[in-house]
Structure 1
Amino acid sequence: MTTNRVWRTLSAFNSSIRRWAPLPLKNTQRQVRQVPKPLTITSWNVDALSSRPVARARHILSHILEGQRSSDIIFLQEVNLDVRASILNDPRVRSAFLTTDAEDQTAFAGVPFATMTLLSSARFASSLDSQEEGETEGGEKLELGRVFRVILPSKYGRDGLCVEIVLPTATDRVLRLINVHLDSLWDTLPYRAQQLEMLADVLHEPGCSGGIIAGDFNAVTAEDQELLEKNGLVDAWLALHGWGNLDAATWGVGVGRRDGRGPRRLDKVAMVGLEACKMEVLRPGVIELPIPKGESINSPWSDHCGLRCTFTI
């Protein structure tokens, strides 16, 4: 299946000029002798539609970045323009991450929110970095390739944000990291089926040795649960925990709903050619939100939980 793509770039914060600068790519023949240590990805739908999205997103980002469990790869969904600005202005992001969508606001045109991907500059490098700059404690940095958005059939203007990683043992092959927010609600199952088929095809293209599709799959129906296996994708959570784990839900957790809908596993990590070795659900904390009459209530950072998954190449 042919896919249409919008080519994008990764950016690093340049402290000398005080702005984000795109990282151009050039062909290299760098050979990495070591397969790097495992990588950790965290994916989180930050909930653009509830009150105080910037404050809530800051709490989520702090939860991901702080302590000894920071992630090498961060996938964020439902990022609106204000949240995007907050992320790009965050000193922790500027000092330690490469990011998509810093060059312009193209991905946010005509939609209320979009996806963003952050990559640790301690683990990843553009192909312009020198061999010496690429050395890290656990081996050399992984080299990054192209960045693009896969245009999808969608009721809501959704796409798949893809970043390529050059394989350390074969520089003519890549892995692909695809950040997704598939179409929402029950009536868009046909869209989700097409979207996942197209994205899985991207991982099976010649020259690609697999990768990850992660994010908000909006898997609200029984049919959604079958789409991963149908498209040759491994559900990382099921591979590690099976069907019986009671802590699998990522949406509607601990919240009573008027419509009676209970918790669901809407968010997923799907893999091809990689192996998950650890995975957990990250529960949101609470933030104080003002309500009329000068009072306040405690509300979760997001209506979604996050997912953290460690995998090996």
Structure 2
Amino acid sequence: MATNRVWRALSAFNPSTRRWVPTFPRNAMEQTRQAMVPQRFSLISWNIDAFSSRAVSRARLILGHILEVPKPPDIVFLQEVTLDVRAALLNDARVRVAFLTTDAEDETAFENVPFATMTLLSNARFASSLEAPQEATDGVEGEDKIVLGRVSRIPLPSKYRRDALCVEVVRPSAPGSVARLINVHLDSLWHTLHYRTQQLEILSGVLRERGCGGGIIAGDFNAISREDEALVDKNGLVDAWAALHEWDESGGATWGVGVGRRDRLGRGGRLDKIAMVDLKAEEIEVLRPGLIEVPRPGEKSLEIPWSDHCGLRCTFTI
């Protein structure tokens, strides 16, 4: 069996929260040279839809769509991960071989909630202190790997017990500062706008704390109203889609695209977003889900999308 490199997401502000000890280059000149070179990363975020039929099969199709490409992403943010889907992800050979995965040691984050978030980081680009020093610094195209710092779940005011999954990463060439990768699923529906307002204000503050050199907030923002659309700018965050597609902001719709809904939320919303502080967005695109067949006893099978959300792929530099 392939070695499964994992790290665990623990509660924020807990003194026992795990920290990895970074491994830094020994040569000061090399350190300075690396600090001057931006590193490029690709991220895919996808709400995989916990409530539609065949959740595990749909999640596997989404995972295949994400990973079975010539150059898989460095970072994967997933929302609405159920316990069954979590188990399928952790048992997938592609994940076990190529990724470090949150929530692999226990089910703490999934207690008393119908689903949670998970983050996967490519072990070709990221390393923990548990790896040998020579391996931890052997990245892609001669770059040092990014070293994992603290992993935590930031508690948020929420009707639905939502939190934010935050991974701190450290460039060996810049050990005095961390960047934060925050995976979110903000509160849902119209009547929780006040919660989403508080949630995004808290998380934008996390990216500006002392010792943090910026970072990214990505996932399902549940941005269903005009008031939601203003929250990213209001909190001084750069909306990657708006920054790169000012001429076609409506093209970034990630929810309800060609999909009928049982509720009254409308169609074609840009619910999912990627926002950042002190990072530079290079490219962003919407990833459309395919279809899966759902058998119906005594009736013709029904085809449904892999998810009621599209995914987002973004390339950015640190």
State which drifts further: 216-225 or 130-139. Answer: 130-139
Report what 1:52 is aligned to. Answer: 54
2:149 touches 2:169 (CA, 8 Å); kept in 1?
Answer: yes
1:210 is aligned to 2:214: yes
Look up the SS of the partner of 1:67 in the other structure.
Answer: coil
**Aligned equivalents of 2:41 and 2:24: distance in 1?**
20
Return the offset for 1:285. 0.3
Q: Are 1:30 and 2:39 matched, yes or no? A: no
Unaligned runs of 5+ in 2: 9-17, 26-30
Where in structure 1 are there 5+ consecutive unaligned residues? 1-13
Q: TM-score, normalised by structure 1?
A: 0.90
- State whether residues 25 and 126 of structure 1, in contact with CA within 8 Å, keep that contact through their aligned partners in structure 2: no
Query: For 1:28 and 1:266, how far apart are their aligned partners in 2?
Result: 36
In terms of fraction of residues, the more strand-rich structure is 1
Runs of at least 4 residues off by over 4 Å: 19-26
Equivalents in 2 of 1:260, 1:220: separation in Å? 8
1:26–1:53 Cα change, 3 Å: closer
Shift of 1:244: 2.6
Deviation at residue 36 of structure 1 after TM alignment: 5.7
Q: CA RMSD in A?
A: 1.8
CA deviation after TM superposition for structure 1 residue 288, in Å:
0.4
Look up the match of 1:99: 101
Alignment of 1:193-208 (within 5 A): 193-208=197-212
When structure 1 is superposed on structure 2, of 245-254 and 224-233 the one drifting more is 245-254
Deviation, 1:295, is 2.3
- Separation of aligned partners in 1, 2:7 and 2:284: 32
Alpha-carbon spacing, 1:135–1:282, altered in 2? closer, same or farther (3 Å): same
Aligned residue pair count: 298
Q: Deviations over 1:191-231 (max 9, x none)?
A: 00000011111100000011000000000010001111111
Aligned to 2:69: 67
Q: Give the structure 1 partner of residue 139 of structure 2.
A: 136
* 1:134-164 deviation per Cα after TM superposition (whole angstroms, max 9, x unaligned): 2133211111101000000000010000000
Give the number of the structure whose residues are more often helix, by fraction.
2
Q: Deviations over 1:264-283 (max 9, x none)?
A: 00000000010000000000
Identical pairs, percent: 62
C-alpha distance in 2, partners of 1:205/1:151?
16
Q: Distance in 2 between matches of 1:21 and 1:247?
A: 36
1:59-100 CA distance string (max 9 Å, x none): 000000011141000000000000000000000000000000
Compared CA separation, residues 239 and 54, structure 1 to 2 (3 A): same
How far apart in 1 are the matches of 2:267 and 2:124? Answer: 40
